[in-house]
Amino acid sequence: MQRVALVLVVNAGSTSLKLSLVAEDESSETVPSLEEVPHGVEAVGHRVVHGGSRFRDPTVIDGEVERQIAELSALAPLHNAPALAGIEAAQRALPDIPHVAVFDTAFHATLPDEAAVYPVPGRWTEEWGVRRYGFHGLSVAWCAERAPELLGQPSEGLRLVVCHLGGGCSVTGVRDGRSVDTTMGFSPLEGVAMATRSGSVDPGALLYLLRERGLSVEELDHALNEESGLKGLSGISGSVRELETAAPQDIRARLALDVYAHRIAGAVAGITASLGGVDALVFTAGVGEGSSQVRADVCGRLAFLGVALDLDANEAAEPDCETAGPGSSVRVLVVKAREDLVVARAVRALLYGG
């Protein structure tokens, strides 16, 4: 059967709906709104962040699938609820073509138990599903495909550490093209510091805030997701670009960027242990692609692993490129995020078998 020519990809964030058209030649263009989608779209692919243990593959959306995505909103409230709103809006605008959910968590289904299981009572894991799911899977999947092309070597045996640094941030270890460890866990709140999300915090501190300081669950949830990370540390903004501008005169902005780089570098080192070494370090997403300073700050902390940047190449970097210095034993890449392409391919494979 002939492949579908044009896929509309819907990526619903907490504050916006990003739409892109991916053609059969894998070129893409942004669509301003659902009302301006051109004729000829044959399928719609939806990025859904949390698929839990239920969704390991792309899935045609029906009422039952929507219900299960809604149930998982408790684990990813900033993401699954907007995704559902995007699905409903797109179905109203394009009711006569198939809609497919593609899940960020699916790429991490290969995590070994030692990386996926938390040291908590067994009932939590076995009955309630409290385990590491991992996120940014679509972005990491693209890097796992693109990096070998840029390096000129096959994915077999290749050990990658992928730093997806955007509004949300995660670090993932990829070996032989498969996820083996990652920093985000049960929810997209765990791991390194992010724009407004805290990343990992001592659970004892959270219990203290609930028990001794009288925070409600809702207040704690809001603070950790919306008022922490770079925004909480700086008191200014969750934007790396704004903090880099402010840092020379503002000690809190500088501290926020230092904590950010410190946590990311520490995560890279930990993931490297899971891989048994690292062949290439990959930076992707808005900050990973756009901030030469963050890349330099992270790589500077990883000199003990043999990471060395070509500072001029790093400063001038435009995806897709390499920025490692001549003495680096670890290749360093900047890769353009193409989650839209990964979604479009998944939709075509599911609906048209190719």
pLDDT, residue 78, reads 76
Does some domain include residue 166? yes
My answer on whether 304 and 345 are in the same domain is no
User: Which active-site residues does the annotation give?
Assistant: 104
What is the total count of domains within the chain? 2
My answer on whether 198 and 322 are in the same domain is yes
Does some domain include residue 140? no
Residue type, 134: G
CATH number for position 277: 3.30.420.40
Question: What is the residue range of 39's domain?
Answer: 6-133+339-352
My answer on whether 250 and 312 are in the same domain is yes
CA distance 295 to 307: 11
Whole-model pTM: value is 0.94
pLDDT, residue 79, reads 83
Structure tokens at 289: 């692609």
My answer on whether 225 and 262 are in the same domain is yes
pLDDT, residue 208, reads 98
Distances 321 to 165, 271, 307, 313, 316 between C-alpha atoms, Å:
17, 23, 16, 9, 10
pLDDT, residue 2, reads 47
Does some domain include residue 108? yes
Rounding to the nearest 10 degrees, give the CA dihedral for residues 193, 172, 104, 113: -110
My answer on whether 53 and 159 are in the same domain is no
My answer on whether 91 and 164 are in the same domain is no
My answer on whether 179 and 315 are in the same domain is yes
My answer on whether 308 and 345 are in the same domain is no
Does some domain include residue 276? yes
Buried b (16+ CB within 10 A) or exposed e, 141-169: bbbbbbbbebbeeebeebbbbbbbbbbbb
pLDDT, residue 209, reads 98
pLDDT, residue 4, reads 60
Does some domain include residue 1? no
H/E segment holding residue 29: strand 28-31
Does some domain include residue 143? no
Stretches in the chain below the pLDDT threshold 70:
1-4, 14-15, 354
pLDDT, residue 116, reads 97
My answer on whether 344 and 322 are in the same domain is no
Whether 283 and 289 have beta carbons less than 8 Å apart is answered as: yes
